[in-house]
């Protein structure tokens, strides 16, 4: 990938990888800690901890952005890593369930500060559009590989050490991330603080919701908000429903569950590798809308699958959904970068981080509670309808791009003044890139 020709990106990517490794070890260790404290109620504890995580992502991301808006990106990233190191070091000493919730909230608040700032920094560091697509694709692959690799590494470590030692590995991962950020801090801060538009006159509340206002005001970003719903619906079906579909409907083993989730990840990785080429050839919005349609059909097809219950068909659907959600996620980052500036990019990426997770607060309960109360068929159809709503909303929000292309279409044999022709060609190219 051409993004790795940027030295600063290589170091930041290394920071992301070791940070994700630490997060993966934390996930395994937290589950074991919950079992030690709560026994058979460990599932309830973990479910509550995940809910706390999502609330931290949705609520605290914009709040923290408002608090650190005057700081350079490097200080924000390093500060978030330092907080995560401290929280990870506290976890081995936890003796009560409420302490888990408190530390998880603090740790995930730091992550909600780190992640959108990191994404906005990558958008500044990798200035070429196609290279940026490669950078986003590499980041997506890192997430997918972490979900597979971290449990394997944790399993290997647990053969020689206790699970509390995994918290040490978590802390080391976050510390290594901070060190890599410090090593390239001169290149990631963008414009100096003095050159940035001051926001001291704006109220704290105004700064907190600045990114949300920007995203609601621009049609390109409103389309992103709608398409977030599509990704949330498809992902919730896979993450919540896989174990039920495989174990209850097919009578499969735990290994079959793992294989199904791995196929979803493999589809995501394959699409991430192909994504830069797809966007270079077809623009941004058209592949995203096509993949959103694939998600709508794929989620709806589960209602039919439940009557046939074929494992091979399930794997095929999961591969399609993994690829489709990956393309949408990569395209979303392109839209955010292309339609934001240095003055508002951090706010835009933070708002996207917060609002995209808000969609999961709707789809995760729908996929879990809906299936247990109304039945799996009704749940699949409801998620498909929700995804269809997101698709229609995104297509409607991005419709000016289609209108502009139509208005700029002219007969091939029509001769125009060279300057007028050049202007129209540029307008058409700009519309096609949306």
Q: Each residue of 9-27: pLDDT tens digit? A: 999 999 999 998 888 888 7
Alpha-helix residue ranges (DSSP H) falling in 39-90: 42-55, 61-67, 73-90
Rounded to the nearest integer, the mean pLDDT of the chain is 82
- What is the Cα–Cα distance from 92 to 365, expressed in whole angstroms? 30
**How many Cβ atoms sit within 10 Å of the Cβ of residue 341?**
8
- pLDDT single digits (tens) 62-83: 999 888 888 888 999 999 999 9
- 256-314 pLDDT, tens digit per residue, is 887 888 889 889 999 999 988 999 899 889 999 999 999 999 999 988 887 677 889 99
Looking at residue 402, its pLDDT comes to 43
Q: How far apart are CA 171 and CA 165, in angstroms?
A: 10
What integer pLDDT is reported at residue 102 of this predicted model?
Answer: 92
Q: Are 22 and 170 in contact (CB under 8 A)?
A: yes
Query: Does the model's pTM come out above 0.85?
Result: no
DSSP classification of residue 195: G
Contact 183, 74 (CB under 8 A): no
Task: Specify the DSSP class assigned to residue 164.
Answer: T
Question: pLDDT tens digits, residue range 340-394?
Answer: 888 888 889 989 999 999 998 888 888 877 666 667 888 889 999 999 999 999 9
Q: For residue 7, what is the enclosing H or E element?
A: helix 7-38
* Residue found by looking up tokens 């053969």 in the block: 159
CA distance 258 to 266: 12
Q: 389 burial class (0-12, 13-18, 19+ CB within 10 angstroms)?
A: middle
First to last CA, the chain: 23
pLDDT score of 270: 92
User: Are the CB atoms for 165 and 157 separated by under 8 Å?
Assistant: yes
- Report the candidate in 117, 122, 129 with the shortest Cα–Cα distance to residue 335: 129
Q: Residue 310 has what pLDDT?
A: 84
Tens of pLDDT, residue by residue over 352-363, are: 999 999 998 888
Which ranges constitute the DSSP H helices of 244-284? Answer: 254-282
Using CA atoms, how far residue 74 sits from 124, 319, 341, 353, 418, in Å, is 13, 37, 18, 19, 47
Q: Which of 392, 216, 370 is nearest to 295 (CA)?
A: 392
How far is residue 54's CA from residue 105's CA, in Å, rounded to a whole number? Answer: 9
| pLDDT of 399 above 90 | no
Structure tokens at 188: 């990631």
Residue indicated by tokens 């394997």: 152
Among 86-90, 92-96, 98-102, 247-251, which is the least confidently predicted range? 247-251
CA–CA dist 238, 367 (Å, integer):
9
Select from 55, 28, 160, 189 the least CA-distant residue to 111. Answer: 55
For residues 280 and 200, is the Cβ–Cβ distance under 8 A?
no
Tokens of 84: 């995560």
Give the separation between CA 97 and CA 231, rounded to whole angstroms. Answer: 32
Instruction: Report, in angstroms and rounded to the nearest whole number, the Rg of the chain calculated over CA atoms.
Output: 22
Q: Which of 215, 213, 217, 203 is nearest to 69 (CA)?
A: 203
Counting runs of H as helices and runs of E as strands, what totals does the chain give? Answer: 18, 0
């Amino acid at each position: 990938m051409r993004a790795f020709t940027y030295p600063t990106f290589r170091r930041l990517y290394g920071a992301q990888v070791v940070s994700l490794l630490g997060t993966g070890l934390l996930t395994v260790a937290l589950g074991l800690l919950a079992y030690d404290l709560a026994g058979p109620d460990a599932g309830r504890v973990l479910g509550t901890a995940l809910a706390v995580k999502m609330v931290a992502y949705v609520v605290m991301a914009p709040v923290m952005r408002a608090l650190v808006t005057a700081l350079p990106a490097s200080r924000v990233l390093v500060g978030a890593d330092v907080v995560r190191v401290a929280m990870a070091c506290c976890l081995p000493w936890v003796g009560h369930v409420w302490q888990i919730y408190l530390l998880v909230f603090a740790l995930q608040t730091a992550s909600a500060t780190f992640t959108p700032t990191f994404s906005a920094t990558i958008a500044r560091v990798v200035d070429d559009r196609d290279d940026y697509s490669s950078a986003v694709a590499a980041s997506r692959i890192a997430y997918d590989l972490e979900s597979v690799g971290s449990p394997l590494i944790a399993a290997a470590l647990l053969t020689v050490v206790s699970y509390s030692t995994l918290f040490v590995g978590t802390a080391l991962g976050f510390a290594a991330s901070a060190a890599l950020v410090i090593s390239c801090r001169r290149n990631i801060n963008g414009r100096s603080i003095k050159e940035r538009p001051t926001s001291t006159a704006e109220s704290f509340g105004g700064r907190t919701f600045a990114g949300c206002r920007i995203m609601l005001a621009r049609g390109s970003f409103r389309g992103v908000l709608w398409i977030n719903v599509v990704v949330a619906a498809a992902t919730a079906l896979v993450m919540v429903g896989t174990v039920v579909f495989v174990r209850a409907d097919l009578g499969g083993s735990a290994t079959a569950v793992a294989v199904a989730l791995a196929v979803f990840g493999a589809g995501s990785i394959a699409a991430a590798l192909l994504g830069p080429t797809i966007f270079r050839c077809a623009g941004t919005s058209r592949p995203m809308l096509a993949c959103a349609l694939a998600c709508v059909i794929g989620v709806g097809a589960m209602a039919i699958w439940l009557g046939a219950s074929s494992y091979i068909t399930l794997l095929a659907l999961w591969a399609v959904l993994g690829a489709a959600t990956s393309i949408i996620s990569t395209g979303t980052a392109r839209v955010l970068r292309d339609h934001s500036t240095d003055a508002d990019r951090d706010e835009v990426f933070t708002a996207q981080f917060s609002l995209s997770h808000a969609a999961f607060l709707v789809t995760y309960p729908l996929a879990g509670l809906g299936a247990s109360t109304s039945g799996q068929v009704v749940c699949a159809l409801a998620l498909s309808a929700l995804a269809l709503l997101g698709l229609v909303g995104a297509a409607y929000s991005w419709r000016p791009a289609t209108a502009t292309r139509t208005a700029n279409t002219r007969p091939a044999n029509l001769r125009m003044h060279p300057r007028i022709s050049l202007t129209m060609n540029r307008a058409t190219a700009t519309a096609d890139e949306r």
